[in-house]
Amino acid sequence: MMEAISERAAKQFDVENVRRDFSVLERKINGHALCYLDNAATSQRPKAVVDAVVESLTWSNANIHRAIHTLGYEATVAYEEAHKKVARFINAKSWREIVFVRNATEALNLVAGSWGAANLRAGDEVVVTIMEHHSNIVPWQLLAARLGFELKFIPVTPDGILDLDAAAKLITRKTKLVGAVHASNVLGAINPVEKLREMARSVGARFLLDGAQSIPHMAVDVRALDCDFFAASGHKMCGPTGIGFLYAKKELLDGMPPFLGGGDMIATVTTNGSTWNELPWKFEAGTSAVAEGIGMGAAVDYLSNIGMNSLFEYERELGGYVLEKLRALPYVTLYGHKRGESLAVFSLNVEGVHPHDGANLLDRLGIAVRSGHHCAQPLMNVLGMDNTLRASFYFYNTREEADRLVHALGELKRVFDR
Ligand code: 7TS
């Protein structure tokens, strides 16, 4: 039954049609058609997003929330509308729960710097997973050094999935926040976040999701997830760089102190003190990334038009195809993808080939992948790897591109065996 539904959804999705929205896919790199498999680092942007940014910069450029002239009004309305689009996209109760920031990193720093600094003290514990990107580790380490609370890590099993038995023991009455990456940027694993949320709730802890990798690929419903915080970057979901968002429940944002102080985030300022603007502006200090915010709104429109379920099914089917091919290569070690559901993100090593050399040779064949530690060194350490090659697919990738990757890995092996 699942098979049939999945096949149908994948058929409705017309990859050749969506590829036409991305001019960059027409590029030749070193004489080969570009095969872009570095989507976990950043996605490409469709024409609709580029047009929205250019349109804003060209025709409606003004500062927002300040001027009463026409351009100021247009920019203000469009920027606010982008918040509403993001709110609808993730099914937030109110658009005032959406705070625009620079990227997921800034969203996570906002949670630590505002909620964390106001609510954590010595004796408390914050529990995150060992799969976190550095951006959901380092802000907590910095704060722990100041406040004296403890940061603990949920381990992974040798299969590369979260160890929920260990999580159940680590999450106790001392735990004030449980934070988890929704989908891993290294292993592709989609984490059992509902189970973690239940553990967090059972001890009265807040629950934070790093959705930087999940939201580009799957339908996200923050009310169904019932998370307190959700962080994302625009540039991984077809939007511009320099823009991302933090979702947080309104009652939490209401009680949190501002993160940055300055223009636009205040209601009144006197020499004795200040009062804060209404949400979300209380957390958006200074002149906003207006065109980028509008671009992220256009990205959300674009993805909604495709349909996140149809996109997810297409990628699941493509990911299954890639997995089968990679597993058939005896000289490739693939990390993760052993149990549970995963995105089409494949971290691997080719016997006898350093990942940087591998990535370099793949680039000569027009194939863009990332090599390195993927900003997840604690995970790499426990899995016993320093560096990997990572091929991360998105909805505009095809089976032909997967075949090119597999063929090129064979080339790598042959070249380095010589
Ligand atoms: N969280 C996860 C899970 C990520 O994968 C990344 C970026 C971030 C947070 C931070 O996003 P930023 O937009 O604030 O930088 N991950 C990667 C990657 O895997 N390769 O390059 C960036």
Alpha carbon distance 151, 289 (integer Å):
33
Q: Any idea what the Cα angle at residue 59 is, between residues 96 and 77, rounded to 5°?
A: 20
Residue 273 and residue 339 in one domain? no
**What would the DSSP string read from start to end of 288-329?**
--HHHHHHHHHHHHHHHHH-HHHHHHHHHHHHHHHHHHHHT-
What pLDDT does residue 7 have? 53
Alpha carbon distance 264, 285 (integer Å):
6
What pLDDT does residue 1 have? 45
Residue 110 and residue 135 in one domain? yes
Nearest CA to ligand 1 atom 22: 41
Alpha carbon distance 295, 192 (integer Å):
31
Residue 342 and residue 413 in one domain? yes
Strands 206-210 and 229-233: parallel
Alpha carbon distance 10, 282 (integer Å):
42
Nearest CA to ligand 1 atom 18: 41
Residue 216 and residue 130 in one domain? yes
Alpha carbon distance 175, 178 (integer Å):
7
Whether residue 25 contacts residue 44, with contact meaning beta carbons closer than 8 Å, is answered with: yes
**Listed residues 270, 285, 305: the one ending a domain:** 305
Residue 189 and residue 290 in one domain? yes
Model-wide pTM > 0.85: yes
At 109, list the tokens: 């720093």
Residue 320 and residue 292 in one domain? no
Nearest CA to ligand 1 atom 15: 105
Residue 146 and residue 269 in one domain? yes
Pocket of ligand 1 (CB under 6 A): 40-41, 103-105, 133, 135, 181, 185, 210, 212-213, 233, 370, 374-375
Largest CA distance in the chain: 74
Residue 153 and residue 72 in one domain? yes
**Listed residues 271, 305, 339: the one ending a domain:** 305
Q: Measured in angstroms, how far is the CA atom of residue 98 from the centroid of ligand 1?
A: 19
- Which helix (H) or strand (E) covers residue 415, if one does? helix 399-417
Pick the atom of ligand 1 nearest to 38's CA. 20
Residue ranges of the chain with per-residue pLDDT less than 50: 1-3
CATH of residue 270's domain is 3.40.640.10
Instruction: Indicate the SS3 state at residue 108.
Output: helix
Pick the atom of ligand 1 nearest to 135's CA. 9
Known catalytic residue: 375? yes
Secondary structure letter of residue 239 according to DSSP: S
Residue 54 and residue 38 in one domain? no
Whether residue 345 contacts residue 370, with contact meaning beta carbons closer than 8 Å, is answered with: no
Phi–psi pair at 152, nearest 5 degrees: -120, 155
CATH of residue 30's domain is 3.90.1150.10
Whether residue 297 contacts residue 81, with contact meaning beta carbons closer than 8 Å, is answered with: yes
Name the CA radius of gyration of the chain, rounded.
22
Residue 200 and residue 347 in one domain? no
Residue 212 and residue 176 in one domain? yes
Residue 247 and residue 114 in one domain? yes
Nearest CA to ligand 1 atom 17: 41
Whether residue 257 contacts residue 118, with contact meaning beta carbons closer than 8 Å, is answered with: yes
Mutation test of ligand 1: which of 109, 213, 370 has the most ligand atoms closer than 8 Å to its C-beta?
213
**Listed residues 305, 330, 363: the one ending a domain:** 305
**What would the DSSP string read from start to end of 203-218?**
TT-EEEEE-TTTTTTS
Q: Exposed, middle or buried: residue 267 (CB in 10 Å: 0-12, 13-18, 19+)?
A: exposed
- The candidate with the shortest Cα–Cα distance to 224, out of 90, 83, 84, is 90
Query: Residue 148 belongs to what domain range?
Result: 50-305
Total of domains in the chain: 2
- The candidate with the shortest Cα–Cα distance to 290, out of 21, 70, 73, is 73
